[in-house]
Structure 1
Amino acid sequence: MPLSARLLALLVAVTWGFNFVAIHLSLEQFPPLLCAAVRFTVIAVPVVLFVPRPRGVPLRWLLAYGAGFGVAQFVFLYVAMAVGMPAGLASLVLQSSAPFTVVLAAALLHERLSGRQVAGVLVAVAGLLGIAASRAELGGAATLLPVLLTMLGGLGWAFGNLASRLAWREAVAAGRPPRGADSLRLVLWVSVVPPLPLALASLLVEGPHRIAGAFTGLGTRTGLLALAGLAFTVMVATLVGQVIWSALMARHPSSSVAPFSMLVPVVGMVAAHVLLGEATPWREVALGAVVVAGVLVGSRPPRVRRRVEDAAPVIDRAALATR
């Protein structure tokens, strides 16, 4: 992969790491369900107006992808951060989506696991359990609950990954293999699914009074920082970041691009420490390194798969670009 592509991949990783700080700022003003609803609504409106639907993707898999990746992931993540999950630690624990995806693919899609994948999952799970135990020791249920909620967000992301795989599998079987533009369109159209259920959930759970209070306080310093955080999440992390990432995945081997995502929790924890003053115990940093190592081991493709990918780059990389 050329230097320019590596720099772009690094830029995306840095952007996504800082996004956890932006989410933290947004949640200082908006309740979590409303914050997620506003985030996706701002993206969904221009997508519906200007972006064609992805070619050959059945509606049921688009809805399933949106329900897992858009609704479940961000409901649990935002609620976790609202009840005390540190932004830096959230960027790390959300990596649980990788081992969850591997396990669910084996259980539900009957995909065979290599010894390397099994080892990677076990190492990552051991690190996550260690973080959960550390949180429980530090503050009991009050600090353990946000970790568990963030893991549920990772589980929702994993279900979204499975839905995206099934969507492309049907398209290929029907003789409509996805193009690079279709992968990006699918990622963007996922944002159309969450706004309505999230808005209804916010209305029912958080209530009209709390929703109104969030909007009437936007002129305060906290409100302006929340708007800045929301703008960063929508414009930079989601639109710009995802466009660049999808383009990189379409043009270069996934084995060269995907490892850059492991820099996201590193950037997230450093950014949260510098900008928010978050202090993460060293044992949790060490356990985080264990999680990242497990994900890297489990996601590294075997040589046979790499040769298959080289033989059919359009289909394989387009499918991987939806992660």
Structure 2
Amino acid sequence: MQGRDRALALLVPVLWGLNFPATALMLDHYPPLLGVALRFLLLAVPTVLLVPRPAIRLRWLILTGLGLGVLQFGFLYGAIVAGMPAGLASLVLQSSAPFTIILAMLLLGERQSRRQAAGIALSVLGLALIGLVRARSAAWWPVALTLMAGLGWAVGNIGARLARPPKPLHLTLWMSVIPLAPMFLLSFLFERDRILPALGTALTRAALPADLGLLYIVIFASLIGYGIWTTLMSRYPASQVAPWSMLVPVVGVLSSWLVLGERPHPAELAAGLLVIAGVLMASRPPRSGTA
């Protein structure tokens, strides 16, 4: 990888890691389901107007959008509102990698190497330890919601793999159209008393941190971050690009500490390192002859 592209690969996890404290700031003002809907609304409008629809089957676009949009962010935002620290969420969300491998094995018939099995086991151990630590000091179910977000991300990954888009960035942008109807409907059903107050005060000084967080999520984490990522994935083998995403929870934990004052338990950080190590082990391409 060239030096310039290596710098871009380093920039992406910084942009994505800062996404977690930005999300926490946004959710201080906007209810979670409405927050998901607004995030994708701001992405979908310019996408429909300016970006050609990807040449893929509609079913795979819907599956990708439901997984990455509705399930991932619906559960993630709900977890943060329920008390999941943003930095810790960035660690637990790495569960998407072993979930993706398991779903690919069950649904797509992909073979699993011994190293991948060991990596999944190590990640599961780390996630279980995080759950145990949280259960002793706070509610455990925000961790469960974050795990469901990781599973939703994995479902979206399977949809993207089945779609095989010729231009991955177009799929990334167009999948933002899919969550709009279900998320606005869910927000109306469960958050109707909070929608008008949140939107009615959206342009006030009190809502400024939330608005800046929302704009950061849309512009920097989504458009710029995913734009760079898909470009690098098109230039280099996935084995050279994917490991850079392991820096996301590092930035997520540090930025949440600096911006939000979060201080995760040392045992949670140690368990998070197990999750990252397991993801790295599971995501490495299998050697020839490995079963």
- Any idea what SS the aligned residue of 1:69 has? helix
Give 1:79 shift: 0.5
- Which position in structure 2 is the counterpart of 1:200? 185
Deviations 1:300-320 (A, max 9, x none): 112449xxxxxxxxxxxxxxx
Of 140, 152, 156, the residue aligned with 1:156 is 152
User: Does residue 128 of the first structure (1) align with residue 127 of the second (2)?
Assistant: yes
Quote the Cα distance in structure 2 between the aligned partners of 1:14 and 1:41. Answer: 24
Give 1:255 shift: 0.9
Structure 1: which amino acid aligns with 2:184? A
Change (3 A) 1:222 1:120: farther
Quote the Cα distance in structure 1 between the aligned partners of 2:47 and 2:237. Answer: 28
Give 1:198 shift: 0.2
Superposition RMSD in Å? 1.1
Give 1:217 shift: 2.1
Of 232, 256, 260, the residue aligned with 1:248 is 232
Of 192, 202, 217, the residue aligned with 2:201 is 217
- Which position in structure 1 is the counterpart of 2:68? 69
Q: Unpaired segments of 5 or more residues in structure 1?
A: 169-177, 306-323
User: Does residue 112 of the first structure (1) align with residue 111 of the second (2)?
Assistant: yes
Deviations 1:94-146 (A, max 9, x none): 1110011111111121211000100000000100010001100112xxx2111
Give the conservation status (yes or no) of the 8 Å contact 1:66–1:193: yes
Give 1:164 shift: 1.2
Quote the Cα distance in structure 2 between the aligned partners of 1:37 and 1:216. Answer: 16
Range with bigger deviation, 255-264 or 216-225: 216-225
Structure 2: which amino acid aligns with 1:16? W
- Any idea what SS the aligned residue of 2:134 has? helix
Quote the Cα distance in structure 2 between the aligned partners of 1:212 and 1:244. Answer: 36
- Which position in structure 2 is the counterpart of 1:11? 11
Of 159, 167, 191, the residue aligned with 2:163 is 167
Deviations 1:56-97 (A, max 9, x none): x10011001101111100100000001111010011101110
- Any idea what SS the aligned residue of 1:206 has? helix
- Which position in structure 2 is the counterpart of 1:147? 143
Give the conservation status (yes or no) of the 8 Å contact 1:28–1:222: no
TM-score by length of structure 2 reads: 0.97
- Which position in structure 2 is the counterpart of 1:294? 278
Quote the Cα distance in structure 2 between the aligned partners of 1:114 and 1:125. Answer: 17
Deviations 1:225-274 (A, max 9, x none): 10000000000100011000000110112111110000000000000001
Aligned residues: 289
Quote the Cα distance in structure 1 between the aligned partners of 2:24 and 2:118. Answer: 33
Quote the Cα distance in structure 1 between the aligned partners of 2:268 and 2:234. Answer: 35
User: Does residue 269 of the first structure (1) align with residue 268 of the second (2)?
Assistant: no
- Which position in structure 1 is the counterpart of 2:47? 47
- Any idea what SS the aligned residue of 1:17 has? helix
Quote the Cα distance in structure 2 between the aligned partners of 1:247 and 1:233. Answer: 19
Quote the Cα distance in structure 1 between the aligned partners of 2:159 and 2:36. Answer: 21
TM-score by length of structure 1 reads: 0.88
- Which position in structure 2 is the counterpart of 1:185? 170
Quote the Cα distance in structure 2 between the aligned partners of 1:216 and 1:227. Answer: 13
Give 1:222 shift: 3.6
Quote the Cα distance in structure 1 between the aligned partners of 2:206 and 2:81. Answer: 15
Give 1:3 shift: 1.4
- Any idea what SS the aligned residue of 1:246 has? helix
Structure 1: which amino acid aligns with 2:185? L
Structure 2: which amino acid aligns with 1:123? L
Give 1:150 shift: 0.4
- Any idea what SS the aligned residue of 1:53 has? coil
